[in-house]
Amino acid sequence: MTGDHPRTGISRGTFLRTIGLGAGAVALGDYGLAHATPFASPASARRDFTLNAGDAHFNLGGKRISTIAYNGLLPGPMIRVKRGERLRVQVNNHLGADTTVHWHGIPIVNKMDGVPGVTQPAIKAGTNFLYDFNVPVSGTYWYHSHNEIQLDRGLYGPLIIDEPNEKLSYDREAILALDDWRDIGSTHLTALQSKFYCDVATYAGTGGFGMSGNAFPTQPARYPLHLINGRPGNAPTEIRVKRGDVLRLRLINAAGGTVYRFAIAGHRMRVTHTDGNPVQPVDVDALDIGMAERYDVLVYATNPGVWQMAAQVAGEGVRTRAILRYEGSHAHVPPATSRPGTLEGKLLSYPMLNATSDVALPSGKPDLDVHLGLNTKFGSFWITWNGQIVDAVKPIHIPLNSHVRFRVTNGGTTQPHPIHLHGHSFKLSTGSGGSAYKDTAIVLPSQTLTYDWIADNPGVWMLHCHNLYHMLAGMMLLLRVK
């Protein structure tokens, strides 16, 4: 479908280059911008890792699939360091396409943020890049490709940063990474095909932003599979506990386009962190987790048996699960789609989340108070700035160290949008209580959420919807903190 797009004046090619779909470079000067990083600490210990991005083949519960992954693993290898350490990751690009790696949620030095065409030139096929940065925060994070739809094809992994002064006590921990899986049957794209697909999008239309509906990669109407730790519901991952254990679960939504409702049969969850940051503990039966969000929860193992840990997709029921198995319990696992009663219990909502006093939240009157509107039309998506459609390829100036308030309203769409700010976390306010410190929050249809943040990290940063397909179709902004 072709139509007048309100955001005239931006060629689609130019627009897409900002998110790395093209060969060009926006804001070239920013690549080499020599900012002093506030995080440099030459005395800290250094950890080195290697990520090889390339083709991979998996057996997903009996289905053979070909896709792309890091080090042939799904999810990619866990990267684990301590807060304050220096992390170096060598990325070798064995894909037939450009790539970069984004360290989601880390207030990183800008040139290591991994946004192709904005913070670095893309890592070309057959070449490599060394990410090298200090890690100033602790908690549950993740890394993923920021190119095209590579994240939705398997290029992601957990990034866990241990807190030297950990206050939680627990006996065991496990990571559960949730993922909607598109690379099956007709939705399969080889690396080369997906590159071609996106190149067509980049070069086919040069006359403004009017587009043919299929120019962008599109989200599957229904994902063929959903995975937890790379395994579908018919071959689930098992987490083992002993009666009396306290289990720390680190939940990561690594999906390209799916919000999950998560619950554990027979157990409540004590939410202790969101997006790496501690919250005052709150006990719930179920929680919604948007794309890129993380929750850490404690599970008290007081109810021996074999239990469903279920991930439900709105309108589709339980689509994947993991198993919680007590040592000595030999019961059969429940059916893959079995619905824990806890899915109907007390549901976490943002007003229940309050940062602990360890978190320094922005307070007082903002220096900049902006209304961001989330909109869609004709298959494209955009964000308005105080009611104006902005040129998303031109970074908007934000004075360094200013207190910024974004009031984000999902007024123009019927879908949830997990809006993520790069390089900073924000205090989330809902209008009905709560003050969590987060890097991504779901803005529901007709809802307004308030993001208060201190622009203390210089550079050009993205703000975008973490539905990959919404981002690629334009739901993004660039902010230049200077």
Q: Which of 183, 353, 344, 340 is nearest to 267 (CA)?
A: 340
* Residue nearer to ligand C2O on the CB measure, 111 or 144: 144
Q: How far apart are CA 12 and CA 393, in angstroms?
A: 10
Under rule CB under 5 A, which residues in 343-362 are in contact with Cu ion?
none
Question: Which segments within 292-435 are labelled E, that is strand?
Answer: 294-300, 306-313, 317-326, 368-377, 380-385, 388-389, 396-398, 403-412, 417-421, 426-429
Residue whose Cβ sits closest to ligand C2O = 104
Could you tell me how many residues of this chain bind ligand C2O (CB under 6 A)? 10
- If the CB atoms of residues 71 and 447 are measured against Cu ion, the closer one turns out to be 447
Min dist. Cβ of residue 75 to Cu ion (A): 22
Query: Considering CB distances under 5 to 8 angstroms, the limit depending on partner class, which of ligand C2O, Cu ion, none binds residue 102?
Result: ligand C2O
Q: Which is nearer to Cu ion, 417 or 420 (CB)?
A: 417
* Nearest-approach distance from CB 465 to Cu ion, in angstroms: 3
Q: What are the residues whose beta carbons fall under 8 Å from the beta carbon of 140, sequence distance 6 or more?
A: 158, 160, 175, 250, 251, 252, 273, 275, 276, 294, 295, 296
Strand locations in 265-316, DSSP E?
Answer: 269-274, 277-284, 286-289, 294-300, 306-313
**Other Cβ atoms closer than 10 A to 52:** 19
Q: Could you say whether residue 144 binds ligand C2O (CB under 6 A)?
A: yes
Whole-number Å distance between alpha carbons of 309 and 292: 19
Task: Decide which of Cu ion, ligand C2O, none touches 273; Cβ closer than 5 to 8 Å per partner kind.
Answer: none
Supply the minimum distance, in Å, between the C-beta of residue 156 and ligand C2O. Answer: 9
Taking the complex as a whole, the smallest distance from the CB of residue 480 to ligand C2O amounts, in Å, to 16
Tell me phi and psi for residue 363, to 5 degrees: -140, 170
Q: Are 292 and 420 in contact (CB under 8 A)?
A: yes
Closer residue to Cu ion in complex, CB, 149/465: 465
Residue with tokens 């600490």: 41
Is residue 229 within 8 A of residue 177, CB to CB? The reply is yes
In the complex, minimum distance from the CB of residue 467 to Cu ion, in angstroms, rounded to a whole number: 4
Q: Give yes or no for a contact between 155 and 144, defined as CB atoms under 8 angstroms apart.
A: yes
- The nearer residue to ligand C2O, 403 or 464, going by C-beta atoms, is 464
Residue 470 in the binding site for ligand C2O (CB under 6 A): no
Of 396-425, binders to Cu ion (CB under 5 A) are 417
**From Cu ion, ligand C2O, none, which one binds at residue 292 (CB under 5 to 8 Å depending on kind)?**
ligand C2O
Choose, by CB under 6 A, the member of 12, 86, 153, 422 that binds ligand C2O: 422
Question: In 3D, which of 193, 171, 311, 206 has the Cα closest to residue 252?
Answer: 311
Nearer to Cu ion, 403 or 417 (CB): 417
C-alpha to C-alpha distances, 238 to 4, 230, 322, 333, nearest whole angstrom = 51, 12, 6, 10
Q: Is 464 in the site for Cu ion (CB under 5 A)?
A: no
Q: d(Cα 44, Cα 32) in Å, to the nearest integer?
A: 24
Q: Does 467 engage in binding with Cu ion (CB under 5 A)?
A: yes
What is the pattern of x (binds ligand C2O, CB under 6 A) and - over residues 98-137?
Answer: ----x-x---------------------------------
Q: Per CB under 5 A, does 325 bind Cu ion?
A: no
Q: How far is the CB of 19 from ligand C2O (least distance, A)?
A: 9
Binding range to Cu ion, per CB under 5 A, among 249-257, 299-307, 341-349, 464-472: 464-472
Chain positions contacting ligand C2O, by CB under 6 A? 102, 104, 144, 146, 292, 420, 422, 462, 464, 466
